[in-house]
Amino acid sequence: MRKVAVIAIGYTKIKEHWNLSIRDLFTEAAITALNEAAIDRVDALYVGNMASGYCQHQEHLGALMADYMGLKSPPAVKIEAADASGGMALREGFQAVASGLHDFVVVGGVEKMSDVLTSDVTYAIAMGADQEYEAFIGATFAALSAMVKRIYQHKYHVSDELIATLPVHCHEMASKNPYAQYPFKITVEQVLSSPFVAEPLRLLECSSPGDGAAILILCPLEKARNFTDTPVEIAGVGAATDTIALYQRDDLTTFKAIIEAANMAYKMARVEPGEVDVAEIHDSFSITGIISLEDLGFFEKGEAAKAIYEGEVAPGGKIAVNTFGGLKARGHPAGATGIYQAVEIVKQLRGEAGKNQVDGAEIGLTQNVGGVGGTAIVHIFRRLR
Amino acid sequence: MRKVAVIAIGYTKIKEHWNLSIRDLFTEAAITALNEAAIDRVDALYVGNMASGYCQHQEHLGALMADYMGLKSPPAVKIEAADASGGMALREGFQAVASGLHDFVVVGGVEKMSDVLTSDVTYAIAMGADQEYEAFIGATFAALSAMVKRIYQHKYHVSDELIATLPVHCHEMASKNPYAQYPFKITVEQVLSSPFVAEPLRLLECSSPGDGAAILILCPLEKARNFTDTPVEIAGVGAATDTIALYQRDDLTTFKAIIEAANMAYKMARVEPGEVDVAEIHDSFSITGIISLEDLGFFEKGEAAKAIYEGEVAPGGKIAVNTFGGLKARGHPAGATGIYQAVEIVKQLRGEAGKNQVDGAEIGLTQNVGGVGGTAIVHIFRRLR
């Protein structure tokens, strides 16, 4: 199996992009990356996207984007795994290069949710839940995650104040990230006085829809130095699934798929959780982020919120987390999120992360989740010097 | 790169499955294949599907199907490339095994279109066209393909009678296939007296929506004999894309993506078109099948219809084509079609094709198209003895 590196990145600001269509968004991010890589051909294209069928009534995104980017007829597909679509697209691109079938592969994620009403966005996202047993009876992702928060708090006796420290941390990080959707700070008091979306989850604990696209260009590690001075190796890949519907789970305070995906990735990269310098984790809701930090092996069960309160996830702490704002504040354009995470880790490992740069970061991790833990995908990245 | 083999297959009859949900359909086909393979684990799952978001308001099919099949948490994604979704899913599964990342991979395709009104099915399928430049102004796939038929007939002076021989051939084949959607014969006169769907395309020249699921189980070739006496090698894989929108093409009488995909697959398998014994080709409309037969290199441009009339595509002819009925008569459950094609070729190479068995078939080919030539994917299979 060949080793694989990231040689270029591209992305758009996340916001309501009223003047760009879904193909414009993707192409804007892609052209940045193609200009950076300066490769003369693209052998395959992967497009991570969750809801273009519902939001734009457009499928066949692979061929559409390849054409609109001006590429010469590469194999191209759309990869869907709810809001883990981006991360899973990266995994497919990795395999295409690792297998030896292709050398230069573009992997992107895109989502445009502003084209439909907010109520329709809620419905579109609920397509990642079990339609027949959850969504059909009115369960939204916020409602399902609210149940998770309630049982987690009951089991581990963690206060609302402590859990609120995660969105506060993410907004602090995003305040120094110009492409974040919400680049401003918030306080614990603001979180706790914001309205309930689904009790006990409040508005400022929930990520929100956004439009955005992000791109990575991959090639075999042995060729990477021809195209960049700062290649980043994809050293570990792990993915797993679980029941989509929560009623089938034994335990809602831990996500088995995250544990399995992380163990696979750690093993492949030969890295321990304690060696990771910087991580982009999936905080679609405050509680999802808290549980992720624990299931990834960074903190003991029930301890993550306290660790955040004590500053352990800030740059300079035990492990820097969501240094561009995470899903809560950088934004969560569903199928693009996994690629934004990878772009951010590449920027950290290159030393291009601006005011939130983690000094000497060598090993980075991304963790992208589909639904309420139905799919989990973990990548481990390593700086090459 | 490791060699890859098919060790088991499964499928459902194609029809309006009112009593099975999309997960039931997929699982029914999968259990047949899993029983045949008798493997004790599944390392990854690929689900080819085009329109579950639109037709069932259900995405996240990878995790959903893995759970419903009773698998132990494998990585799982949905692959979408319009009606080439099945073929492209096979390509991803091939890469997963070829790369060395996974040993036992389940690749399936599923589509359930009876859940929505026929007008909505037409709309769902049109999501594979260019929404902004084609579908939005009312172009359906039948309308777009009708334009292709008109210009092809104008250029090559091929009569309606000759083109009608393809659906007649496909129904002849399907009449001996118990899982076909339309297992009965038709005549050229019936084709020519059926109503226009989009002039000059008539009803009996058009494939129609259906519900169905088909499954392949892949593993490294070197391990295949542990699980079956009749392994079939996937010897060649090629895929390419083109503009989705027809107004951007130089020539509507040939599909560049098919030519490129086929050349890639022939080269990889070291096979010439003349060596292929049996092929399952993408006859979503009569004209699409005719053009495919030419662009795959089986017949000269403008000659395919005459060759069909002369019996060259029947078992025993120059090359046996669509021996289970093709999209027209076996059925065209969009995202499942590419996997049905592969299942059929495996049956031929195993000698299990029943009354349409091609004697001594050693090399088979599948060709699956997304939209009107926007995506093309070709696989070449080889019997191992």
Q: What is the ipTM of this complex?
A: 0.97
Query: How many Cβ atoms from other residues are within 10 Å of residue A359's Cβ?
Result: 9
Tell me what the pLDDT averaged over chain A comes to. Answer: 97
Answer yes or no: do B131 and A56 touch at CB < 8 A.
Answer: yes
* Region for residue A8 given its phi and psi (left: phi exceeds 0; alpha: psi -120 to 50; beta: otherwise): beta
Fold that domain A140-196+234-380 belongs to in CATH: Peroxisomal Thiolase; Chain A, domain 1 (3.40.47)
Query: Cα torsion for A58, A60, A64, A65, to the nearest 10°?
Result: 100
Closest CA to B77 of A282, A77, A73: A77
The residue type at B273: P
* Region for residue B371 given its phi and psi (left: phi exceeds 0; alpha: psi -120 to 50; beta: otherwise): left
The answer, for A74 touching chain B at a CB cutoff of 8 Å, is yes
Tell me what pLDDT residue B101 has. 94
**How many CB pairs lie under 8 A apart between chains A and B?**
207
The answer to whether B247 touches B148, Cβ cutoff 8 Å, is: no
Q: What ranges in chain B are assigned the alpha helix state H?
A: 22-37, 52-55, 61-68, 85-98, 118-126, 141-156, 160-163, 165-174, 188-193, 221-224, 256-269, 286-295, 304-309, 326-329, 337-350
The CA distance from B382 to the nearest CA of chain A, in Å, is 19
Angle at A123 between CA A120 and CA A124, to 5 degrees: 85
**CATH number of the domain at B138-203+233-383, please?**
3.40.47.10
The answer, for B54 touching chain A at a CB cutoff of 8 Å, is yes
Tell me what pLDDT residue B385 has. 74
From the number of C-beta atoms within 10 Å of its C-beta (0-12, 13-18, 19+), residue A300 rates as exposed
Answer yes or no: do B80 and A73 touch at CB < 8 A.
Answer: no
Closest CA to A371 of A201, A158, A134: A134
The CA distance from B117 to the nearest CA of chain A, in Å, is 16
Residue A244 in tokens:
């989509």
What's this model's pTM, rounded to 2 decimal places?
0.98
Closest CA to A298 of A234, A241, A253, A365: A365
Specify the DSSP class assigned to residue B204: G
Answer yes or no: do A100 and B131 touch at CB < 8 A.
Answer: no
Q: Does a cis peptide bond (omega within 30 degrees of 0) precede residue B200?
A: yes
Contacts with A, B 1-40, CB within 8 Å: 1, 21, 23
pLDDT in tens, B289-337: 999 999 999 999 999 999 999 999 999 999 999 999 999 999 999 999 9
Closest CA to A368 of A334, A344, A329, A321: A334
The answer to whether B326 touches B290, Cβ cutoff 8 Å, is: no
Answer yes or no: do B67 and A242 touch at CB < 8 A.
Answer: yes
The answer, for A60 touching chain B at a CB cutoff of 8 Å, is yes
Tell me what pLDDT residue B120 has. 87
Q: Are strands B212-220 and B105-111 parallel, antiparallel or unpaired?
A: antiparallel
Averaged over A342-358, what is the pLDDT?
97
Question: What is the number of residues in chain A?
Answer: 385
The answer, for B79 touching chain A at a CB cutoff of 8 Å, is yes
Give residue limits of the domains in chain A.
4-117+210-232, 140-196+234-380
Tell me what pLDDT residue B230 has. 96
The answer to whether B68 touches B23, Cβ cutoff 8 Å, is: yes
The answer to whether A212 touches A110, Cβ cutoff 8 Å, is: yes
Q: Is the pLDDT of residue A385 over 80?
A: no
d(CA B82, CA B132): 16
Residue A176, classed as helix, strand or coil, is coil
Q: Find chain A residues with C-beta within 8 A of B54's C-beta.
A: 53-54, 57
Answer yes or no: do B127 and A59 touch at CB < 8 A.
Answer: yes
Tell me what pLDDT residue B356 has. 96
Collect the ranges in chain B with pLDDT lower than 50: none
Q: Please report which confidence band the pLDDT of residue A117 belongs to, taking 50, 70 and 90 as the band edges.
A: confident
The answer to whether A180 touches A174, Cβ cutoff 8 Å, is: yes
> Chain B residue with minimal CA distance to A240?
B75
Enumerate the β-bridge partners of residue A46.
A77, A107
> Chain A residue with minimal CA distance to B1?
A99
Residues 6+ apart with CB under 8 A from A137: none
Answer yes or no: do B80 and A76 touch at CB < 8 A.
Answer: no
The CA distance from A106 to the nearest CA of chain B, in Å, is 14
> Does this chain's domain B4-117+210-232 share its CATH topology with B138-203+233-383?
yes
Answer yes or no: do A60 and B91 touch at CB < 8 A.
Answer: no
Answer yes or no: do A80 and B80 touch at CB < 8 A.
Answer: yes
d(CA A48, CA A61): 9
Answer yes or no: do B88 and A77 touch at CB < 8 A.
Answer: yes
Residue B207 in tokens:
């494939």
Domain B4-117+210-232 class, CATH top level = alpha beta
d(CA B218, CA B40): 13
Q: Which residue has the tokens 């494939």?
A: B207
The CA distance from B351 to the nearest CA of chain A, in Å, is 31
Q: Is the dihedral of CA A5, A9, A14, A18 positive or negative?
A: negative
The answer, for A260 touching chain B at a CB cutoff of 8 Å, is yes
The answer, for B70 touching chain A at a CB cutoff of 8 Å, is no
Residues 6+ apart with CB under 8 A from A31: A10, A69
Contacts with A, B 235-254, CB within 8 Å: 237, 239-244, 248
Residue A320 in tokens:
């820097």
Q: Is the pLDDT of residue A267 over 90?
A: yes
Q: Is the pLDDT of residue A60 over 80?
A: yes
> Chain A residue with minimal CA distance to B236?
A101
Tell me what pLDDT residue B118 has. 82
> Chain B residue with minimal CA distance to A125?
B59
Answer yes or no: do A82 and B59 touch at CB < 8 A.
Answer: yes
Answer yes or no: do A64 and B91 touch at CB < 8 A.
Answer: no
Q: Is the pLDDT of residue A120 over 90?
A: no
